[in-house]
Amino acid sequence: MLETHLQSRSIFRFQNLSKQNGVDHFVSTRIGGLSSPPYESLNLGFHVGDTAKIVLKNRERLAANIGISLSDFTIPRQVHSGTVTIVTEGMRGYGAADLDTAVEATDAIVTDVPHLCLMVLMADCVPILFFDPQKRVVGAAHAGWRGTVKLAAQKTAETLKEKFNCKLTDVLVGIGPSIGPCHYEVGPEVISQVEGTFGDTEGYINGEAPDGKGYFNLWEANKRQIIAAGIPRQNIEVAQICTYCNAHLFFSERHERGKTGRFGAGIMLSTSTDM
Ligand SMILES: [Zn+2]
């Protein structure tokens, strides 16, 4: 990923998506907002206990900073599911300025509507962005351990294929900053679900200890399921940025012991210049 500084606020972008025409995307950080501890400072989440008015100002700052109107954002109410929702023109602005209008109970959103920015929110969970330059479709998924074993990313890829007729060999993917295999210790109850879904723990769980705990590699688990869906390995960029290791830059629920803000990952079909 590449970091850019826009008016002293950091924005990360994937290199593979940055090279494409007709798509805008970003991963925000915790820097440059107005929220007080434990949400300091660019908290984008209405649902974490921060003051709503300040969260709205933070979102407006981010939107202005990246040059997309906040009313063009669509944001889901994330529930750690494997549900994929198709966003239509009528859902433009859902969840942008409040929690009540957020797209109901879904962790992955897909659209072919131009100039509509899909955004998911994280603090250790994995943001995954999708772009098909041929069919001109974008997707954004949020996957913690539950979303990962519920195959949210794989189902997003399948939705691109089944509902939008995308050739998955055309689709580019960015797997963004999240808690890394260096810090994501999980217990036997999670490990057994990993084994249940993937049939194996090899490459998914590292450093299994006698107490049954191990380190879950969310990046690898999401990359593998996207490849299994049919997206070529070389189309997938993994940021390899651990939010826990970089808790000064990103919100990390584990690092902050549960009470913290949310950063965002967004993607939008920009108005094509060659039309
Ligand atoms: Zn780490």
Q: Is 200 a member of any domain?
A: no
* Alpha-carbon torsion (107, 111, 113, 117), positive or negative: positive
- Closest residue by Cα to residue 171 from 162, 181, 179: 162
CA distances from 54 to 11, 61, 168, 258 (A): 20, 10, 40, 20
Cα 212 to Cα 200: distance, rounded to the nearest angstrom: 15
Cα 70 to Cα 117: distance, rounded to the nearest angstrom: 9
Q: Is 188 a member of any domain?
A: no
Report the mean per-residue pLDDT for the chain.
95
Widest CA span in the chain: 61
pLDDT digits (tens, 9 = 90+) for 58-78: 999 999 999 999 999 999 999
- The CA 59 to ligand 1 mean position distance, Å, reads 27
* Alpha-carbon torsion (159, 164, 169, 174), positive or negative: negative
Q: Is 264 a member of any domain?
A: yes
- The CA 90 to ligand 1 mean position distance, Å, reads 40
pLDDT of res. 110? 98
Tally of domains in the chain: 1
pLDDT of res. 275? 44
Instruction: For residue 7, name the pLDDT band (cuts at 50, 70, 90).
Output: low
- The CA 176 to ligand 1 mean position distance, Å, reads 14
Query: For residue 167, how many other CB atoms are within 10 A of its CB?
Result: 13
Q: Is the pLDDT of residue 250 over 90?
A: yes
- The CA 143 to ligand 1 mean position distance, Å, reads 17
Q: Which residues pair with 244 in a beta bridge?
A: none
pLDDT of res. 5? 74
- Closest residue by Cα to residue 28 from 213, 185, 222, 250: 250
Cα 214 to Cα 206: distance, rounded to the nearest angstrom: 6
Cis peptide before 38 (omega within 30 of 0): yes
pLDDT of res. 75? 98
- The CA 248 to ligand 1 mean position distance, Å, reads 12
| Mean pLDDT to the nearest integer, 83-99 | 97
- The CA 3 to ligand 1 mean position distance, Å, reads 19
- The CA 207 to ligand 1 mean position distance, Å, reads 14
3-state class percentages of the chain: helix first, strand second, coil last, to nearest 5: 25, 25, 45
DSSP labels, 113-143: -TT-EEEEEESSSEEEEEEETTTTEEEEEEE
- The CA 39 to ligand 1 mean position distance, Å, reads 20
Q: In this structure, what token pair is assigned to residue 61?
A: 């700052």
Give the long-range contacts of residues 247-252, CB within 8 A, separation 24 or more: 248/30, 249/10, 249/29, 249/30, 249/31, 250/29, 250/30, 250/123, 250/177, 251/30, 251/43, 251/122, 251/123, 251/124, 252/123, 252/124, 252/179
Q: In this structure, what token pair is assigned to residue 262?
A: 């949310």
Q: Is 72 a member of any domain?
A: yes
Instruction: For residue 26, name the pLDDT band (cuts at 50, 70, 90).
Output: very high
Q: Is the pLDDT of residue 259 over 60?
A: yes
- The CA 208 to ligand 1 mean position distance, Å, reads 17
pLDDT of res. 43? 98
CATH, residue 137: 3.60.140.10
Q: Is 203 a member of any domain?
A: no
pLDDT digits (tens, 9 = 90+) for 133-160: 999 999 999 999 999 999 999 999 999 9
- Amino acid 173 reads V
- The CA 245 to ligand 1 mean position distance, Å, reads 4
Domain that holds residue 152: 2-180+217-269
Q: Is the pLDDT of residue 208 over 80?
A: yes
DSSP labels, 41-104: S----GGGSS-HHHHHHHHHHHHHHHT--GGGEE-B---S---EEE--GGGTTTTTS-STTSBS
HSE of 244 in the Cβ direction (CA atoms, 13 Å)? 15
The larger pLDDT score, comparing residue 267 to residue 4, is at 267
Q: Is 168 a member of any domain?
A: yes
